[in-house]
Amino acid sequence: MVRLAFLVTVVFTVLLAGCSGAPSSAPAPAAGGAPAAASTPAVQQVTFRVPTMVCSHNCWPAVREALQKQPGVAAVTLAPQKEEVPIDNPLVTVKLNGTFDADRAIEAIAAAGFAKATVEP
């Protein structure tokens, strides 16, 4: 019972400290008293067209591995295909979790043997 009372006291104290005028993460007003513009949200995913990726057995794994090695990559997925073996829709989506350099990713795809990759709008 004493532990529960202590835990409740700690949680209550932390909650009050958060409301006690501590600096907030809200943007500071800009010069002239107007609020600062909200920052642009980070890109959550990038889609690449890899036209020279033609098979799902060798090409797709090589492209996936090249992209997975890039900083900021959380997941790499191939667009749905009509059939299992030939790639008829060479779009690859990269979900991001940090800073990501699309130009370096294109270079990595090219180094893996798949030239002409581009970022889809």
Report the share of the chain in percent with pLDDT over 70.
64
pLDDT band at 85 (very low <50, low <70, confident <90, very high): confident
CA distance 66 to 111: 8
Give the pLDDT of residue 66. Answer: 98
Least confident span in 6-20, 24-38, 81-95, 105-119: 6-20
In 3D space, the residue among 90, 91, 101 whose CA is nearest the CA of residue 43 turns out to be 101
Residue 112, SS3? coil
Give dist(CA 67, CA 46) in Å, integer.
Answer: 11
Write down the mean pLDDT value for the chain: 76
